[in-house]
Amino acid sequence: MPYSSSERRIFYKLNSPSKIQDFANSLEFNFEKNGETCQSPRRVLKSKKAHCMEGALLAAAILEFHGHPPLVMDLRSVKPHDDDHVVAVFKAYGCFGAISKTNHGVLRYREPVYRTLRELAVSYFHEYFLDNGQKTLREYSDLFNLRFFDSINWHTSDEELFAIPKHLDKIRHRKILSEKQIKNLRKADGVEILAGKITEYKK
C-alpha cells in the first residue's frame, strides 16, 4: 500500500499493540458533526479524529504494517437501542487481544490473554449497557480480514468506506446468550451506570 513517508514514520514508531492503542487514544473522538463518516487510515491521520470503526481500521492498518493480518471484529448489540462496536484484533503469546477506539471509560483495550475469540468478545459484556442499566451485547462476528477490501484502497482512500461496516454487519455473527440467559440478566447497578458515563471527550 502506498503510504507516504510521514505516514510510514508514524507507523514505524507504533511497533506494538500497546503503542497503537496509546496513539488511538490521543485522537479526538469523531462525533460526525457534519454527517456520518467512515474514514480511511490516511484520512484519520489527517483529521486526527476517529470513531470506533475508523479507529479499528487505523489500528488494523498499523498492525498489518508490522506483519500482522488486518483483522477486525464486530460486537453486535440490541438494536435500535444501542450501537455496535468494532475492534481491531491481534494475537500474541497464543492469545487474542484487541485495540479499541471509544469515548467511554469502558469497551477499551484488551490485553492478549484470551484463548478464544468468544472469550475476547465476552470480556466486553458486563460493561456494555444502556443508561438504564440494561446489558445489550448479544453477538460477535467472525474475524474479518480487511484485505478483502484492498481493491477499494481502504488504507489510503479519500472516499467514505461505508462498504466495510455494511459488509461487516452481514458476515456470520455468533450468539453470546441463550433466550433464558437474556430473560434473567441483572441490570447494571447505580455505581456501574455512573462509571459508564465517564467520557474522554465532550460532544
Confidence of residue 202 (pLDDT cuts 50, 70, 90): confident
DSSP bridge partners of 28: 49
Query: CB-hemisphere CA count at 13 Å for 137?
Result: 21
pLDDT value, residue 33:
95
Q: What is the pTM of this model?
A: 0.96
Average pLDDT taken over every residue of the chain: 96
Among 75-79, 100-104, 198-202, the range of highest mean pLDDT:
100-104
Ranges of each domain in the chain: 5-196
Query: Higher model confidence: residue 54 or residue 196?
Result: 54
Compute the Cα dihedral for 41, 45, 46, 47 and give only its sign: positive
b/e map 80-91, b = 16+ CB within 10 Å: eebebbbbbbbe
Given the C-alpha cell 484492498, which residue does it identify? Answer: 150
Check whether 153 has a pLDDT greater than 90.
yes
Q: Say which range, 45-49, 79-83, 139-143, 197-201, has the weakest mean pLDDT.
A: 79-83
In the prediction, which pLDDT does 203 show? 83
pLDDT at 2 over 90: no
Looking at the predicted structure, is the pLDDT value of residue 1 above 90?
no
Q: For strands 137-141 and 173-175, give the pairing.
A: antiparallel
Report the share of the chain in percent with pLDDT over 70: 100
Residue 111 has pLDDT above 90, yes or no: yes
